[in-house]
Amino acid sequence: MASGDWIWQVWSHVYRIESAGAIVLSILTAVLIASPRVVRDKLLSAFDKSRHPGSEDFSKRLPHYNSRLELYNENETFKGKCEFLCVLPEQPKLHPGERWFDLEGLDDSRYRQELDELENDNEYIAVYHEARRINWDLSPPNISYQTIQYSELRALMESGERPVSISCGALLVCDESGKMLLHERARYLHSHPGKRHTFGGRWRGKRGGKGPSDKSCWEAMKREVLEETGIGLGQESGEHPVYVGRQFGGKEGFEWLQIYFLGVPVTQEQLRGAIEENDKHWDGNVTSLDFESLDTWFDEPESYVLSGLLQILCWLEMDAPGLDDGKWRKRVKKWKRERATKGRDGAFAGTWRAIECSERELKGLSFGR
């Protein structure tokens, strides 16, 4: 860098800060001129990361985020219905291995017949035994799953077993349009008809060489997003925090281990194309929420699948990763400040009015039953 160029680079960065004035600029420039070169380089790097939140090292903030996000599990609205486990800096690795459930002699003929009558595929899906047995502190966590067919899943549940289905998905955002994309589930679906959710679905496993198999959580999420929106996503960048949670209940009584990428960006063109192609999506439509109307997002919390609502709140809690550090990210931060409430220790607890008053605004919230 030519002598003096770094000064103008700093000025250009600081000029973007709306509240910065001439005094701040002068003081900052003076400090940088007097600083060693290594300090200047680090400061410039910090400025670059603030402009591009995707390059932020989330691992440094994860203990902070995870301790705050655990507060959601204390809320009566979510108890017994869905649960936050953790946010990871990278996707976990899934691999076939353990035989959690004995399938020998299992009678799943009734459910096979139902699928045949509906002309639905008897999919091969990945299941786990107990999400809390996974060591989420590993980098990355490893999950050994068993592959069973959907009919076997239903038969196991009828026998009293509780296989945990593994699902992968994403919370999609469009910075250009100032919108969050959501899946409005078809009204004829058995679970959560007509409710809004993030995009995702079951991890597909292979057994005995049969059935397609997902190679990673990101690839499983890409497949589901393509099926539900028509949007083709690229390779994983490692810049998206990974939400891990559990969902219970619903009409079928399924339990899910959810692995979702938060704040995956799409373009305005992709958003427009997804909405135009809505008539081709058999299980629901692509809808969106405007960041401009963030104040109204939770006026009707019963319109969401609860686990999707929890993912959205976690994403907002993390200051909306995936958005550029511009108008919409500032809008989210302002919304958070306005709704932050003091916790028991007198400090900001990281929960907001939208989820703290479950006995008032969220009273009577249903969960697919």
User: Can you give the three-state secondary structure of the chain, one letter per residue?
Assistant: CCCCHHHHHHHHHHHCCCCCCHHHHHHHHHHHHHCCHHHHHHHHHHHHHHHCHHHCCHHHCHHHHHHHHHHHHHCCCCCCCEEEEEEECCCCEEEECCCCCCCCCCCCHHHHHHHHHHCCCCCEEEEECCHHHCCCCCCCCEEEEEEEEHHHHHHHHHCCCCCEEEEEEEEEEECCCCEEEEEEECCCCCCCCCCEECEEEECECCECCECCCCCCHHHHHHHHHHHHHCCCCCCCCCCCCEEEEEECCCCCCCEEEEEEEEEEECCHHHHHHHHHCHHHCCCEEEEEEEHHHHHHCCCCHHHECHHHHHHHHHHHHCCCCCCCCCHHHHHHHHHHHHHEEECCCCCEEEEEHHHHCCCCCCCCCCCCC
pLDDT per residue as tens digits for the range 190-215: 778 899 999 999 998 777 666 678 89
Q: What is the mean pLDDT of the chain?
A: 77
Q: What integer pLDDT is reported at residue 25 of this predicted model?
A: 52
Q: What integer pLDDT is reported at residue 74 of this predicted model?
A: 78
Closest by Cα among 328, 300, 327, 326 to 316: 328
pLDDT at 319 over 50: yes
pLDDT at 350 over 50: no
User: For the chain, what percent of residues have pLDDT higher than 90?
Assistant: 36
pLDDT at 219 over 70: yes
Give the pTM: 0.77
pLDDT per residue as tens digits for the range 95-118: 888 788 999 999 999 999 999 998
More confident call, 306 vs 27: 306
pLDDT per residue as tens digits for the range 161-190: 889 999 999 999 999 999 999 999 988 877
